[in-house]
Structure 1
C-alpha cells in the first residue's frame, strides 16, 4: 500500500460541543493497516511492523475487500491497556519470541477510521461518512474477533464521557469534529486529545553514569523537547526502568562530544548523546521553571520522530 502518515490531535481540556464525537483514548502504538491478501501494518514513522504482530496480520488478511484503516495497537490486561506488555511486544525482533508472545500475550488492534476502500481514497470525506463506511464494511466481519475491534464513540457530551472514561481506568478521550476530513501527517484542531495524567514524549540528549548495580548502564537520562528547531533541556529521569529496559536503552546510546541542548544542564558528570531516541515519561506536574516534578520513565517510543517532541507539551 502507499504509506500514509497518520493524522494527529492537539492537546486540550474537557469540553462538550454539538457536531463532535468522543472516543476512548487508547494509549498504544499508532498503526495504519491494509486489509488484503497479505496485510501490512506501519507505525507513525512509516516502519513496517507486520512481523511483530502475526496474530493481527492473520485477522486483517482474512477480511473481505481491500481497505486501509487507522487505529491503535495495544495489549489489554483486565480490559485496560498495559504499558509493560505493549513495550515487550513492540520492541521484540526475535521470531521465536514473537511467535510465543503472539499466543501468550496477544495484541489487539482498535480501529477508529478508514482511509481507503477498494482502491478509492476516502480521506476527503467528512468523518461522519468515513465512520458509516467503516462500520458498514467491517462491523459484521469483526463481530466475533478477539484481536480486532471498532472503537466506540459518543456524541457531544465530552465532559461527561471524560469523567466516565477515568472511572473505567482509561487515561482520557479524543474529541473529533464530525465534519473533519482526514489530513495525513497533520496535527489538526479538528481532533483534540484530553488526558487525565501528565504524559510527555521527550528526546534523550544525554545521561548520567550509573553507580552500583546501574554502573554498566546509566543513572538517569537527560531529556529535552524541540522549539524552533532547537532542543531545549527539560528534565532528568532516573526511575521506572526495568533491567531489560536499562540494557536496551544503553545499547542505543550514540555518544557525541558537545551537548545537543541549546541550554545544557550544568551537570559535571553528564555524557552527551545524539538526540535520536524518544522516551515517554509521566510526572506529577510541570514546575514553575518549566521542568518536571517526580518524572518516571514509561516506555521507549520507536514509533515517534525526535522532531515531533515539541515544547508545547510542557505548556
Structure 2
C-alpha cells in the first residue's frame, strides 16, 4: 500500500501520524524461515542480513530499511552504500549497518489482517514487541518535531483504513519537510576539471503521455564514489540518440532510461524544470514507468 503526497488532513481526529522514514520499503515474511522482499518482489533476504526473525510466529510485516547516522537519524546517503550489494561482506555490514523499522502487520498466523482498520493492525503489531516505532494522534506536533530533527516528514494514516496492497490510497498521506521527487536518468553530461573523463551531471526526465520529458539536469550532491558507481552502471546502457521527446540543451551521452534516482529541489519553473536539484541517490526499488510528471 502506497501513500499520496499532500498536506496534513484537517479532520485530524480520524488519523494517526507516523514518522516518514527515509529508506527502502521492505516486507518481512516469517513462516519457519525468514524472507525479505522489496516493493516489486525482489529478494532482499541476503542483502539485509541484519533483519532478524524477531522471535515471532508466522507473520507478514511491512516496514522500512534505514541506515542511521551518528545522531540516530535515517541517512539515505549511508543506505546507498548497501542498496546495490546483494551479498554484503562483513566490512560493509560493520561500516554501514541497517535497521528495520516495522510499521504494519499484514498477516498473523497465516490469517490476513488487511481488512482490519489501521488502528487494530497497529495494536497487534505493538503486541509483538519487535521494535515498531510508535504512531501519534493526528493533532500532535509530529510534523514540526520531524522538521526540527532534520527528518523527512510524516505519514498521516486513516485510523479506520484497511491495508490495500498495490494501491496508492488517499487514506495514507505523506507530508514532507523537504521537497523530493523521483526522476529517470536519460543521459549524462561529461565532466570538466576534476570530473574530467567522468560524469559532470545527470540528465533527468519524467514520463508523460508523449514519452520521456526532459525536466533538468543535476550536478550536485554526488561523492566521487557515487559518480564512479553511476559511470559503471550507465556505461552498458549507452544509446546513440536521445530518449527524450523534447529538446535537451548541450551535447550529452544518452542512455536507456532504465535507472531511477531521487533529487531534492526548491521549486518547479514555468518551463517544467526542477530548480536547484540536488542528487540524493538511486532508487532501485522504483520502476521507471512509475515516474510520471
TM-score (norm 2): 0.93
Number of corresponding residues? 289
What is the deviation of 1:229?
Answer: 6.4
Moved more, 165-174 or 26-35: 165-174
1:71 and 2:63 are equivalent in the alignment: yes
CA distance in 1, matches of 2:115, 2:291: 28
Q: What does residue range 1-80 of structure 1 map to in structure 2 within 5 Å?
A: 7-16=1-10, 17-56=12-51, 59-60=52-53, 62-77=54-69, 78-80=71-73
Gaps of 5+ in 1: 1-6, 143-148
1:292 and 2:274 are equivalent in the alignment: yes
CA distance in 2, matches of 1:101, 1:265: 39
CA distance in 1, matches of 2:214, 2:95: 40
- Residue 264 of structure 1 corresponds to 247
What is the deviation of 1:276?
Answer: 0.3
The 3-state SS of whatever aligns with 1:246 is helix
Gaps of 5+ in 2: none
- Residue 145 of structure 1 corresponds to none
Report the aligned-residue RMSD: 1.7
Q: What does residue range 1-315 of structure 1 map to in structure 2 within 5 Å?
A: 7-16=1-10, 17-56=12-51, 59-60=52-53, 62-77=54-69, 78-93=71-86, 95-96=88-89, 99-136=90-127, 138-139=128-129, 142=130, 149-157=131-139, 160-228=141-209, 230-253=211-234, 254-267=237-250, 269-311=251-293
CA distance in 2, matches of 1:162, 1:95: 35
Q: Per-residue CA shift, 1:109-137, capped at 9, x if unaligned?
A: 1111011112111112221221122122x
Following superposition, which runs of at least 4 residues in structure 1 exceed 3 angstroms of deviation?
A: none
| Contact 1:36-1:63 within 8 A present in 2 as well | no
What is the deviation of 1:250?
Answer: 1.3
What is the deviation of 1:101?
Answer: 2.8
| Contact 1:15-1:157 within 8 A present in 2 as well | no
CA, structure 1 residues 95+108, in 2 after alignment: closer, same or farther (shift >3 Å)? closer
What is the deviation of 1:37?
Answer: 3.1
The 3-state SS of whatever aligns with 2:42 is coil
Q: Per-residue CA shift, 1:59-107, capped at 9, x if unaligned?
A: 22x52211110011101121211122111122224542xx223234321
| Contact 2:63-2:101 within 8 A present in 1 as well | yes
The 3-state SS of whatever aligns with 1:163 is helix
The 3-state SS of whatever aligns with 1:50 is coil
CA distance in 2, matches of 1:156, 1:243: 42
The 3-state SS of whatever aligns with 1:174 is strand
TM-score (norm 1): 0.87
CA, structure 1 residues 10+83, in 2 after alignment: closer, same or farther (shift >3 Å)? same
